[in-house]
Amino acid sequence: MQVPLLDLKAQLAPLREEILREVTEVIDSTTYIMGPKVAELEQNIATYCRVPYALGVSSGTDALLVALMAMGVGPGDLVLTTSYTFFATVGSILRLGARPLFVDIDPVTYNIDPDKMAAALAEDPARTARIKVILPVHLYGQCADMGRILPLAERYGIPVLEDAAQAIGADYPMVENGKTVWRKAGAMGAAGCFSFFPSKNLGGIGDGGMIVSREEALCEKMRIIRVHGDAGRYEHHVIGGNFRLDPLQATVLNVKLPHLPAWHQGRRANAAVYQRLFGEAGLLASGKVRLPEAVYREAAAETSGNPEYHIYNQFVIRVDDRDGVIRFLQQEGVGAAIYYPVPLHRQQCMAGLGYEDVCLPETEKAAAETLALPIYPELTEEMLARVVDRIAAYFG
């Protein structure tokens, strides 16, 4: 039995006819740039995230780039972020001539460690004065600890931009006036960025992205940057670019969005099956396999409304002898992948930028020990059992 890491055909099949009908309508309409489908998706995502503003853009990468541009990031600036993320997080900082200031991750969530962030902010006031934006990533579908990150950022007067590319719909239990209020990923900082790359929980049939925000003035800047800085009638107030979302992508995403909660639910159910099967196989007690922890699950159990405490864009485990395990799984027809094998501060393109002596032990450890298993909602219990059985066979 083959178990792929992701099977988009299984997701497409029940929606195919509706998508084809809607896409045909757009083609026949000849409205190929922006238009009602993009506006509809923006409204739908804003409603879903409970924010007033949403801006469709060309990709998750461009969402980050546009937001950082609007926040005034440029040469000489620092952006505090993580080295354990997809390249786009850091690439967008570097493209603007700014530099990332890396903070190590929490080994359980793989997200920025707020204690280490506090230490980094306190360490060197002259350096902290150069930090223009704090850019946490909600990796694998679970929010960074925003209840600690936001007050710290506020104390230093630095705005927060959320890279929520892997976490659309994920909820965070914010404690406000002694009460837990669930907030959507992307809706907590000054702005949040989503990606509709096909392998994300909400994926298009190509590239696409979205920025959400509660700040009107910031959104106005981003709206203009999206179209070459054109404030209307070819009056270019700032230098922007072509960062528009394709209406064909918006059309497909409008069809898919209503299914997103059920897909999130399916991924969480699969995570629970893995928990049971790995336990039964004795691999958790032996410590050979360590499963991801949903750190906000307890808070979710104590509140009503069934919050999305984790959306499992990836199901990332730690194993002994990671490279041996992944080679074996690939031989056995089980899709597994490493996100991410080389931390960004160790990438070739960062050479010569002064990151040689950066020390991020938890980041390095995660890069060496983790692998992602299939978690997409259409997996059957048989397929999940096959994955666990093959890992058990390896450690046999």
Ligand X SMILES: *Cc1c(COP(=O)(O)O)cnc(C)c1O
- Which amino acid type is present at position 336? A
Strands 315-319 and 370-373, by their bridges, are antiparallel
Give min distance, CB of 302 to ligand X, in A. 29
3-state DSSP assignment of residue 234: coil
Give min distance, CB of 189 to ligand X, in A. 15
Round to whole Å and give the CA distance between 291 and 280: 13
Q: Which span sits near ligand X by CB under 6 A: 9-17, 160-168, 172-180, 183-191? A: 160-168
- In the bound state with ligand X, the residue whose beta carbon lies nearer, of 315 and 394, is 315
Q: Which span sits near ligand X by CB under 6 A: 80-88, 278-286, 348-356, 361-369? A: 80-88
Q: Which span sits near ligand X by CB under 6 A: 20-28, 42-50, 83-91, 107-115? A: 83-91
Query: How crowded is the C-beta side of 144, counted as CA atoms within 13 Å?
Result: 37
Round to whole Å and give the CA distance between 225 and 141: 28
Give min distance, CB of 140 to ligand X, in A. 9
Candidate residues 83, 85, 142, 249; the one interacting with ligand X per rule CB under 6 A:
85
Round to whole Å and give the CA distance between 365 and 40: 43
Q: Which span sits near ligand X by CB under 6 A: 86-94, 225-233, 292-300, 321-329? A: 86-94
Q: Which span sits near ligand X by CB under 6 A: 56-64, 214-222, 298-306, 373-381? A: 56-64
- In the bound state with ligand X, the residue whose beta carbon lies nearer, of 48 and 86, is 86
| Cβ-Cβ contacts under 8 Å for 167 (sequence gap 6 or more) | 138, 139, 141, 142, 143, 185, 186, 311, 313
Candidate residues 11, 142, 166, 370; the one interacting with ligand X per rule CB under 6 A:
166
Q: Using CB atoms within 10 Å of the CB of residue 63, give its burial: 0 to 12 exposed, 13 to 18 middle, 19+ buried.
A: buried
- In the bound state with ligand X, the residue whose beta carbon lies nearer, of 87 and 395, is 87
Q: Which span sits near ligand X by CB under 6 A: 59-67, 125-133, 254-262, 327-335? A: 59-67
The region, left, alpha or beta by phi > 0 then psi within -120 to 50, assigned to residue 306 is: left
Q: Give the orientation angle of helix 36-49 with respect to helix 247-256, to 10 degrees.
A: 40
137 binds ligand X (CB under 6 A): yes
Give min distance, CB of 287 to ligand X, in A. 29
376 binds ligand X (CB under 6 A): no
59 binds ligand X (CB under 6 A): yes
Where do we find the tokens 């590239």? 207
Give min distance, CB of 263 to ligand X, in A. 17
3-state DSSP assignment of residue 2: coil
Candidate residues 88, 168, 188, 311; the one interacting with ligand X per rule CB under 6 A:
88
60 binds ligand X (CB under 6 A): yes
Candidate residues 11, 83, 89, 370; the one interacting with ligand X per rule CB under 6 A:
89
Among 139, 127, 63, 72, smallest CA distance to 344 is for: 139
CB 343 within 8 A of CB 137: no
Q: Give the orientation angle of helix 146-156 with respect to helix 114-123, to 10 degrees.
A: 10
Of residues 184-213, which lie at the interface with ligand X (CB under 6 A)?
Answer: 195, 197, 207, 209
- In the bound state with ligand X, the residue whose beta carbon lies nearer, of 339 and 394, is 339
Question: Residue numbers of the site for ligand X (CB under 6 A)?
Answer: 59-61, 85-86, 88-89, 137, 163, 165-166, 195, 197, 207, 209
